Structure 1
Amino acid sequence: MIEPGMTSTLQANIARLTDRAAREKAAAPWPARVADHITGFTGSMTFVLLHLVVYGLWVVANLGWLPAVPRFDPTFVILASEASVEAIFLSTFVLISQNRMAAAADRRADLDLHINLLAEHELTRLVGLVARVAAAVGVPIEDPADQEIQRDVAPEQVLDALDARDHSAATAAGRDGA
């Protein structure tokens, strides 16, 4: 069934990309899958509530407010140590997951660039074809921009120009901050 406002091609693309994402997730090495699961759980409200309960009971017990429970960490040194070790491991799991997400984002950005370059090339060729058709039927093309859009974009020149702009901005910022 085609969703309203979506072409069958778009829906097929979504389905293929969803299937690919599921295959990539299933093919991920087990340490990465474990890190993703841990990161997913630790980023949930269940994790927050669990910590509120456990740490809350720890504090209440060690303040002596629960007479039936002996004070096992009256200075909270054990709690602080446990929290520090937990933070070390959780930050490591988060970094592992972020690295995987960054790699996936880089791949999607690369795909976007290639598709955009292909679309630009196809549009450039289409503009050239339209210009030839216009010339064949005697319609003058007077806008100088029409000549410009008949040329392919050179991505390496665009990147060089962006790098030069960023370098100039960084140099200017360095002078302003000095």
Structure 2
Amino acid sequence: MTVVDMAPVDHSTINKNIEAILQLEEDDERQLPLLHRISHKVGWFVGTTSFVIIEATFVLFWLSLNVVSDRPFDPYPFPLLSVVLSFEAVFLTSFVLIRQNTMDRQSQRRNHLDLQINLLAEKEATNVLKALHDIAAHFHIQLSSEGQSKELAQDTPVDRIAQDLRSKEKHS
């Protein structure tokens, strides 16, 4: 069995790419208005177990104050607690939705970036295949499955593929 020596992974490139992505995300966060950044922090915190523990502690404290006290400020069935929790639910839902909308926009930008990178990689692969065909022709080398490789060496009609995809989506 032949062992092929693989080139080592260039960790500096990987680290540089990670840093660039993190920097883009930090820049996006900094460009948000202050109220948006605050709502993101609140929306993030609401999704933690710490929030659940704090919320449960608050409700238990409220209930115990009103059950044990001789003069409860919110007697059973605790209508004031219901109003407070409903009000809180409306605001927290809004914060979570604001955060989700921003995450959706980030996801759309990432998808667009992925598409652009894939299109560039496709163009590079096409150019490499064209060069391979030119080299093979120059040295009179017959390539196996030449029909398929010639087809792959052609520019990819992205607009036609996208139209085909849309028409198939409409029919399914």
Q: Does TM-score exceed 0.5, indicating one fold? A: yes
Question: Amino acid of the residue matched to residue 123 of structure 2?
Answer: H
Question: Amino acid of the residue matched to residue 82 of structure 1?
Answer: V
Question: Amino acid of the residue matched to residue 167 of structure 2?
Answer: A
Task: Choose which of 135, 138, 144 in structure 2 pairs with 1:136.
Answer: 138
Task: Choose which of 43, 46, 50 in structure 2 pairs with 1:46.
Answer: 50
Give CA deviations for 1:68-112 in whole Å, capped at 9, x if unaligned: x63222222111111111111111111111111111111111011
CA positional deviation for 1:118:
0.6
Task: Choose which of 5, 10, 31 in structure 1 pairs with 2:14.
Answer: 10
Please say if residues 61 and 70 of structure 1, whose CA atoms lie closer than 8 Å, have aligned partners that are also in contact: no
Task: Choose which of 148, 152, 164 in structure 1 pairs with 2:151.
Answer: 148
Aligned length: 163
Distance 2:93 2:18 in 1: 33
Question: Amino acid of the residue matched to residue 155 of structure 2?
Answer: D
Partner of 1:36: 40
Question: Amino acid of the residue matched to residue 43 of structure 1?
Answer: G
Distance 1:7 1:153 in 2: 32
Please say if residues 44 and 96 of structure 2, whose CA atoms lie closer than 8 Å, have aligned partners that are also in contact: no
Distance 2:25 2:9 in 1: 24
Distance 2:65 2:18 in 1: 53
Alignment pair present for 1:167 and 2:165: no
Distance 1:78 1:25 in 2: 37
Q: Which has the higher contact order (CA 8 A, sep 6+)?
A: 2
Distance 2:9 2:57 in 1: 47
Partner of 1:172: none
Partner of 1:71: 72
Partner of 1:115: 117
Q: 1:123/1:168 Cα in 2 relative to 1: closer, same or farther (>3 Å)?
A: same
Moved over 3 A (4+): none
Partner of 2:96: 94
Question: Amino acid of the residue matched to residue 74 of structure 2?
Answer: D
Please say if residues 127 and 149 of structure 1, whose CA atoms lie closer than 8 Å, have aligned partners that are also in contact: yes
- Gapped regions of structure 1 (runs ≥ 5): 170-178
Please say if residues 40 and 99 of structure 2, whose CA atoms lie closer than 8 Å, have aligned partners that are also in contact: yes
